[in-house]
Chain A
């Protein structure tokens, strides 16, 4: 199975530069996701890989072979679209058979392989139905079967689940992952849904404005974001400007502008330049006002409270600015209450602030 490589891809629509020097590698049989906000260039990247959009410069390689100028119909990649893009005039069977017929596969074999694939995606019963008459979930299965049946070297997905309801999304993503592993297909998957992305990917690429911010395993992206952008993206909501004051007790000693002291685990390396500490709302402990003088303590007062269904979320006014903190169901604090926040040392992530 092949490895996909993007080398210094620049791409634009007219004069509008969308991708800048984009490098990406999807290893043999891996499932890699492109995650990023709307308009950051995820679809554009996929279109360059598929050959629908010609890159201004840079290269697309599959197993070292140059695909940059190869026409899209001769790449042999499967592409699954957000809108399904089924052929409206064909029934389910003919939709799935389309790619094989283009390849002049013998009639009998087309029948065998299509029926087999319909069985795999659980659509055998709908074989003769017109594609227009299917539900969203069924359409997406047809689209998946249609892309898989040609045994593609590479499978590309552009937000394939975003038109489905929440329950079906979860079901389908498990299925996509199962099929990808069953057929061991190198996959590039675009989404802006974090949970979806983390749950099915071997590796995740976080994109921002046409450049890659971080390429890593989902667990690392979640716990060790590499930039403030990624941190914000994966749910870090509190950021402090910090100065490094050396090490003690095996921990980094940090101090904020107002003198508040913090600690962070030493497994993190200190980035050069300005230093930013990031903490998730659920990592901060919230208690009644009581100071012990330990590191990581911040005094504040509740400015705003929202109910999340499981616990409350508070906006807390502090000398370090407004912080977002999640609290338990029991004994909620009321607006105006004075409180003490504690940031546990091992929950503080240190980032360089460009």
Chain B
């Protein structure tokens, strides 16, 4: 039996926003963790930034790439930023 897709809101920051070509994306996905979601987005949006250097926020709180997602979650992928 196919899993029910999750409805998620994704926000891209800095270099990821440039690669994705948008700030906010709403999608239905079978991904169940930020790690799975990012792997999916890497393919669909040609994101080259390595997953192991990302921080992720789930519903305005830092989470882990393995944090389980539920429908309606707001996800932000945050790469390191250093300019000044």
A binds B: no
